[in-house]
Structure 1
Amino acid sequence: MSVFRTPQVILFSEDLPRAVAFYARLGFTETFRVPTDGEPIHVDLALDGYQIGIASAVSTPR
């Protein structure tokens, strides 16, 4: 039986900057973004060992 050690949930958002701001207000800090410059299509955030990824809904087909 496998055990999750560092699970990460990926959410898709129509408004990525707004979603990232929401989680930042909860205390999450940004750990990764693509691309590193300009408007992101994916951002990873972390809080107390919990990881969450948020991707732009329009980036899904890419």
Structure 2
Amino acid sequence: MADLWSAPRRLTRGGQPRYSDLAIELCLTLRLVFGLPLRQAQGFVRSIARLTGASILAPCEA
């Protein structure tokens, strides 16, 4: 799961993305489904990751 969560390394100039498009879309989809504000969606994803034992960070948590 962690390999799908992090973005592939950029080969061009510029900053490196931290999260994959899949991770961001998942968080925003959960936000819409449950009608959560962005901060609550962040906490929701963080708690799911903690419960499953996944070593991932929620977007905007870093």
TM-score (norm 1): 0.31
Whichever structure has more helix as a proportion of its residues is 2
* Greater relative contact order structure (CA < 8 Å, 6+ sep): 1
Whichever structure has more strand as a proportion of its residues is 1
